[in-house]
Amino acid sequence: MNKLKAKEGLFVVHLFFLIDHWKRKSGQVHPNFEVEIGSIVDRIKNEEGFQIATFCMLCHCDIGFMILGPDLHKMQEFEKRLTKTFSLDGWNLHYSFFSMTEKSEYTTTREEFEEELISSGIQPGTEDFLNRISDFEKAMEYYTTVRLYPTLPDYPFFSFYPMRKKRENSQNWYALGFKERKELMKGHAKVGRKYSGRVVQYITGATGLDDWEWAVSLYAKDPYDIKSIVYEMRFDPVSAKFAEFGSFYCGLQMSLNEAIKRVQT
């Protein structure tokens, strides 16, 4: 089979399915549905470089998946097989989203960090200066790896929403200069860091790939923390002035068998 890998990062697919009880009542039931869908999910888990999280969704739909992987041909195969198998058992694909992991263009550069050290009175070439630079480079290497090649957490609560930046005459994010955008994003990131250890955030890029520009996937142990971080960020200028949001999809992470059982019972 052909392989298609990105220059950097992983491909990401979100799939949300809605059960159609009328179809199932009328006899559209796949006799081996649970076995076949379980086999597909197990294959994804065992495919090199791939990860999958399964959710029993709240309100809008019934079962959701977040899939990460390095090969787009494999990713498409898994997406089509899941969709087909669900449809044979009377389910509809309610919503889907395609994106890629990416690193932020607004992170602090080494040169900027060096300027900050000098401004604080730490002289270049000193042991303290060199140690701080070394720690900075290690931290940035870790940050880049986590952004491009994350490991999905086993946190029980999940929230997904798409977003984009405004292009209105008086609120056009892309008409701002890079320095102004970077300064605004510093404040935005500061809010996110307050929730470190409580909320795991994945911001994946979809410019040129889907209808929105980013997918936001949030994982938490307590739903309150996701509610709080989203609410607090609404007051940050980046969100208050320049952000537009799509529908929110929330769910509980659990095994596929448990999710199906909960929906069909």
| Structure token pair of residue 126 | 């000193």
Rounded-to-integer distance, Cα 63 and Cα 16, Å = 6
In the residue annotation, 161 being an active-site residue is answered as yes
Strand, helix or coil for residue 91? strand
Of 15, 55, 62, the C-alpha closest to 254 is: 55
From 155, 161, 195, 219, active-site residue: 161
Please give the Cα distance from 205 to 85 (Å, whole number): 28
Q: Which residues are registered as beta bridge partners of 101? A: 204
Rounded to whole angstroms, how far apart are CA atoms 101 and 66? 12
∠88-4-246 over CA atoms, to 5°?
A: 60
- Minimal CA–CA distance to 3: which of 51, 72, 68? 72
Which residue, chain included where needed, has tokens 């480079």?
137
3 state SS for 187-255: HHHHHHHCCCCCEEEEEEECCCCCCCCEEEEEEECCHHHHHHHHHHHHCCHHHHHHEEECCCEEEEECC
Q: Supply the residues annotated as catalytic.
A: 161
